[in-house]
Amino acid sequence: MPANVVVPEVGESIVDARVARWLKKEGDAVNVGDPLVELETDKIDLEVAAPQGGVLGKIAHGDGADVKVGEVLAVIEESAAPKAPHPAEAASAAKVDTQKPEPKEEKKRVTPAARNAAQQKSVDLKSISGSGDAGRVMKRDVEQAEARATRSTPAPSLAEAAPRPQAAKAEAKAVQTTSGDRTEERVRMSKRRATIARRLIEAQSTAAMLTTFNEVDMSAVTAIWERHKQAFKDRHGVGLGLTSFFVKGAIGALREFPRINAEIQGDEMVLKHYYDIGIAVGASEGLVVPVLRDADRLSFAQIEQKVRAFAKAAEDGTLALADLKGGTFTITNGGVFGSLLSTPILNPPQVGILGLHAIKDRPMAVGGQVQIRPMMYMALTYDHRIVDGAEAVQFLVRVKQLVEDPGALLIE
- Residues with active-site annotation: 384, 388
CB 330 within 8 A of CB 347: yes
The string of DSSP letters for 43-109 reads: S-EEEEE-SSSEEEEEESS-TT-EEETT-EEEEEEPPPPPPPPPHHHHHHHHHHHHHS--PPPPPPP
Q: Are strands 352-356 and 369-383 parallel, antiparallel or unpaired?
A: antiparallel
In angstroms, the Cα distances linking 298 to 46, 195, 303, 330, 410 are: 29, 31, 6, 16, 12
CB 187 within 8 A of CB 343: no
* Nearest C-alpha neighbor of 146 from the set 119, 169, 172: 119
Q: Are strands 35-40 and 16-22 parallel, antiparallel or unpaired?
A: antiparallel
DSSP SS3 for 236? helix
CB 47 within 8 A of CB 35: yes
CB 205 within 8 A of CB 376: no
- With 0-12 / 13-18 / 19 or more C-beta atoms within 10 angstroms meaning exposed / middle / buried, residue 10 is middle
